[in-house]
Chains A and B, each alone.
Chain A
């Protein structure tokens, strides 16, 4: 029995998984794209490599196998930073990629036509652009897990960044279940930044009668509540320049109101309205007439 026990750890050393594959046997994707025009088309770009030709199949598992055969290496999508989708596929295959194929929940989802994006992609620049825009308060934070959460809500709409040919920074679109999308105005997109989640630690420039002045936002917090069937969004911003507090408050209020107005017009919910309604035992309905009151306080 003793000899048998000594042999067991030796046996388990063979199961570490380090012996069979080398790093060159694998394809670590940085960006992937999907379209569903009749058949599923899969686009992939590995780190520091040009993308190959798209592969086709009827399921995610099949297109991954096709990609492996075409590429000559096992496809690993666990480190993918960018998922590119358009209105043909919407977010439907993303769930399988997240839960069964190990796609990162923090992966950015870009609304773009994969056929066009993967012609000449600079995924590193695109990911950095999205991340820095989010950090600098120019773009509301979006990622795969938040997009999927919105997608499975009553309003079945997700907020995604979109590449714009005429602009340096990405914009935002509402992607609907039927594949249609509605783009937000830049002004409303800034309001969405405050409404969606607690944020902060960036500087912004404000227009004042005395010229342009900088203000540093330390942090911001959004409080949601419901009273008499009316939703209240209270935004508290902590900033360092006392002279600019009123200007900032008025601007933020207008931006948030524009964001809410465009969101309701697009029949979407990307600011957690459903959670607030459910907390008050109100069953959310896509066609319900919602009243939203915004208030901003700068401290």
Chain B
């Protein structure tokens, strides 16, 4: 089995999470920052049962309960479809105006076909490199927005708190991914997962903070705060930073989608105990098809409903079962003595 190092897992989860963050469609208010922090803390708590389980728990579970494996598989197809819907809605008007809506989407999906056919391990190996480009772009974003920051625009109110908690929870498919990949992660997976949760919350809070303080009222004029922020955050007078933002935008989408296709392939391999390299590209085709046929809000609602079950309730039930089994074993051994 191809193992992924914990730092590669951290990078791939964070980059995939960053895609969801940059595609946040609306800015509700200052309370959104507090909502993000609260949601992050709740997710850390919800992850405890998953982390308390043995690494191979998921593989064993779906080998015995195949129907459950199918639910996980469908979930990642939905996540991929949601990613494509976000690409279709967010990209054309903001970052890819000159290429045209359709051409840009086709080229990006073609790139995803290539990366998904290479497998998850290849993507994991290049994730630290993408991470460094991503960090540079975040730095450029901060430098460009720095001059425009007006802290008086922030008011610590409740506006947007609960909407933000709900929204942030809907953008956390990587938590399910972290559990599924747990038997493939080499090194400290707890640090990788906590690192991912903290870094993603920090990135999300940074985007919201910059949007409110540097963007001001302009952010509410157009959707997608991140993309409005990129239009306002141009650190150099003689050189536009758009190319860097476009590069990062495309790379984040490719990583996000390749993670979903890689997970579908991984689950399919566990379910049918056979390695089939065309599973990932076929799943990508299905994702695009689902995004085309299904309503985006329906996909989002389904993800919100299924997600806590997949990364919290099922691991919790498993953990309780393991615990009771251990107690029973102890009781049996006592009786034997």
A residues with CB within 8 A of B: 1, 5, 8, 15, 78-79, 95, 98-100, 102, 104-106, 145-146, 148-149, 152-153, 197, 224, 272, 275-276, 278-281
Contact = CB atoms under 8 A, between A and B. Distances in A.
Contact of B157 (A5, A197, A281): A281
B234 A106 contact: yes
Nearest to A223: B152
Nearest to A95: B221
Contact of A104 (B152, B222, B240): B240
Contacts of A145: 148, 218, 232
12 contacts: A8-B114, A78-B240, A79-B238, A99-B228, A104-B237, A106-B234, A145-B148, A152-B218, A224-B152, A275-B152, A275-B216, A276-B152
Contact of B231 (A8, A99, A149, A197): A99
B242 interface: yes
A81 B232 CA distance: 15
B232 A105 contact: yes
A279 B240 contact: no
Contacts of B324: none
B155 interface: yes
B161 to A, nearest CB: 15
B91 to A, nearest CB: 14
Interface in B139-164: 148, 150, 152-155, 157
A280 B152 CA distance: 11
Contacts of A276: 152
Instruction: State the 9 A-B residue pairs at the shortest beta-carbon distance, nearest first.
Output: A279-B155, A149-B216, A152-B217, A105-B232, A275-B152, A275-B153, A78-B240, A149-B217, A224-B152
Given A15-B107, A153-B217, A100 B237 contact: no
Interface string B108-140: 000000100110000000000000000000000
Count class of interface residues, chain B:
20 to 34
Q: Which of B94, B228, B232 has the most chain A CB atoms inside 10 A of its CB?
A: B232
Contacts of B94: 99
Contact of B218 (A1, A78, A106, A148): A148
A146 B149 CA distance: 11
Given A99-B231, A145-B148, A275-B216, 14 more contacts: A1-B117, A5-B114, A78-B240, A95-B221, A99-B228, A102-B240, A105-B232, A145-B232, A146-B148, A152-B221, A272-B153, A276-B152, A279-B152, A279-B154
Given A99-B231, A105-B231, A149 B218 contact: yes
Nearest to A148: B218
A14 to B, nearest CB: 11
A102 B95 CA distance: 10
B93 interface: yes
Contacts of A153: 217
Contacts of A78: 240, 242
User: Interface centre among A79, A99, A272, A278, by most B CB within 10 Å?
Assistant: A99
Nearest to A278: B155
A148 B219 CA distance: 11
A173 to B, nearest CB: 21
Nearest to B216: A149
A105 B154 CA distance: 21
B152 A272 contact: yes
Contacts of B237: 104, 106
Contacts of B217: 149, 152-153
User: Quick one: which of A98, A104, A105 has the most chain B CB within 10 A?
Assistant: A105
Nearest to A280: B155
A8 B113 CA distance: 11
Interface string B207-242: 000000000111001100000100110100110101
Contacts of A5: 114, 118
Contacts of A15: 107
A99 B234 CA distance: 13
A114 to B, nearest CB: 23
Nearest to B157: A281
Nearest to A145: B232
B134 to A, nearest CB: 20
Nearest to B231: A99
A272 B216 CA distance: 11
Nearest to B148: A145
Nearest to B150: A272
A100 B93 contact: yes
Contacts of B231: 98-99, 102, 105
B240 A275 contact: no
A148 B221 CA distance: 11
Nearest to B238: A79
A275 B97 contact: no
A278 B157 CA distance: 10
Nearest to A144: B232
Interface string B78-119: 000000000000000110010000000001000000100110
Nearest to A11: B110
Contact of B150 (A8, A148, A275, A280): A275
A100 B228 CA distance: 10
B238 A105 contact: no
Contacts of A8: 114
A240 to B, nearest CB: 25
Contacts of B222: 99
A82 to B, nearest CB: 13
B157 to A, nearest CB: 7
B307 to A, nearest CB: 33
B90 to A, nearest CB: 13
